[in-house]
Structure formats: structure tokens, C-alpha cells
Amino acid sequence: MFTHILVPLDGTKLGETVIPVAAILAHLSGAKVTLVHVIEENAPKQIHHERHLTDPGEAQAYLEEIAKASFSAGTKVDWHVHASLVRDVARSIVDHVEELHQDLVLMCTHGRSTARMWLFGSIAQQVIRLGQTPVLIIQPLADGSAPGFTCGRILVPLDGKKEHEQGLPLAVEIAKACNSIVQLLMVVPTYGTLAGESAATGKLLPGATAAVLDLAVKGGEEYLQRHLVAFQGSGLEVIAEVARGDPAGTIVRVATEGQADLIVLGTHGKSGTQAFWSRSVPPRVSNQSRIPLLLVPVSE
């Protein structure tokens, strides 16, 4: 599943809310964990109303304390302070991932405004855009405390495109480690939830558009059925559903109603990032739901 997990920490209690999830995943997979703190150039004195760690020695002691207090004896935990001042924290995190060959980055949504602004306008979004490593986004509870983490049901939204299936193998690995149910979901828009050029076409040709959407539902059912057949004999419980509506809102609704513990979404890599993010599905899913979101970069 995972062999090496990177956990960037900024010294705040909000940032530490990812630690219990890191401990669980490391225990399940036998992965090594590296805690990292990056010293930022011209860093603010406070983050989220807490004092910002800017002294390398103090940051080193902080990471060491977290490592000893938060992980089981069987988990190998390292810590590293990037003491050289950096302007681009996200780039520094990605450089550490590439240098140490980590296969998961675990980050928390928190920041100056909404989760969406922080996640998809700042450090985490940049880590996703710059790197090729899966990023697991955890949202603190409303009171800022760490959420519980179980993995009984994993929701994997698919859209019928082969490249977006690249998150599915990782979801399967997690499901096998956690004995989870895997729920495949394909969302077909309704006439009223079409966007962009599709919406304009729908207004000009409403009858034809409705017929095309009905065919898309049938095609989606056949597409998911092929996946179900492929899973036969895997030992996993896999279910599938075609739902109608706005993609992001429907993903959140299905995840909430089905009590999903994790949502796995494939995202385009470096070349296709802007085209994919312009559809706003991942940021809207994160902004509307507190369910952990695993973003898996994919290639064409």
C-alpha cells in the first residue's frame, strides 16, 4: 500500500490533526513516516493564532516530541527540519518527496479563509500540481480537533475515462489492508446541471441533449458492470452506482449517505492540471465535505 509517508507540520495544533491518520496508515501498511518542517523566508510570526516555529533547533525538538508521542513502537519515524530559508514551501515539500521517494503526502486543510481557498489556492494545491505523489487531505473537526479515521467504505468516483481510473488500484490496496467496501460511482449530469459548452448546447437542443444523457446513464451502467466483473474473485466487496446531478454535489451526497470513510479521486498531472481543476470537482468536494480526500495524480 504505502512504504514511506511524508507529513509536513507547521507547529500548530491544527496541523497536528493529521498525525492520528498517519499513525493508522503506517500501522496498516508498515510504512515509514517522515515528519518535516520547512523554515519559510519572511515567515509570519503566527499561524492560525499560534506562534510560528522559525527556529531550527526548536522545530527539531518539536518534531522529535511528536514522533515519540504519537506513533507505535513498531513504526519507524524520522524527522527533518529544512533549515535553509525557502520562499516556496510547496516546492520544498515536493523536493523532499522526490528525494526520499515517498509515496504519500498527508496534509491538513486549514488556512486564512475557507478550506477551498487553502487547499486549492495555496500550499496543498501546489504540492498536488508540482508533484506526482498522492496527497491525502484531512479536515479537522469544527472545533479544530483531530477527526477519527476508519476505513470501512471507500468511494471511488469514475467518469469513464481510462486515465481517471489510475486512482483505483491504490483504492483497492487500501481496501484490502482495511477490509473495506469499495463503492464505484459514476455521475451523469441532469439537464439542469450541465455546465459550459454542454449547457449552451442543451439550451439549443434540449430533446437531443436529454436523449444523450439517458444514453450516458446506460453507458455508465455498462462501464461499471465491467469493473464489477473484473473484481470477481478479488475477495473484496465492490458495489457500483450511476447517479444523476452535479458531479461534485452528487459525489458528496453519495459519500455522506453511504457513510464513506474515504474518497479517492484521480487528478491530472503536470500537463493537464489546469484543464482538470477548471471543472472544480475536487475543490468543491473538499469544500462541501469533511470526509478525507485522497488525490491521486494521473497521466494521460
Summarised one tens digit per residue, pLDDT across range 230-276 is 998 899 999 999 999 888 899 999 999 999 999 998 876 443 334 33
Q: Rounded CA gap, 39 and 46, in Å? A: 13
- State whether residue 244 is helix, strand or coil: strand
Q: What is the mean pLDDT of residues 94-99?
A: 84
**What does the alpha-carbon distance between residue 286 and residue 119 come to, in Å, rounded to a whole number?**
8
Nearest residue to 292 via CA among 270, 263, 268, 267 = 263
Cα–Cα distance measured from residue 106 to residue 126, given in angstroms and rounded to the nearest whole number: 14
**Residue-wise burial string across 234-259, b where 16 or more C-beta atoms lie within 10 A, e elsewhere:** eeeebebebbbbbbbbbbbbbbeeee
3 state SS of 188: strand
In this structure, the number of other CB atoms found within 10 A of the CB of residue 135 comes to 23
CATH class for domain 4-138?
A: alpha beta
The 10s digit of each residue's pLDDT in 37-62 is 888 776 666 566 666 677 889 999 99
Residue 87: pLDDT band by 50, 70, 90 thresholds? Answer: confident
Residue-wise pLDDT for 166-223, tens only, equals 899 999 999 999 999 999 999 988 776 666 555 545 444 455 556 667 778 899 999 9
Q: Which class is 153-298 in CATH?
A: alpha beta
Start-end ranges of CATH 3.40.50.620 in the chain?
Answer: 4-138, 153-298
Strands in 9-72 per DSSP E? 32-40, 46-47, 50-51
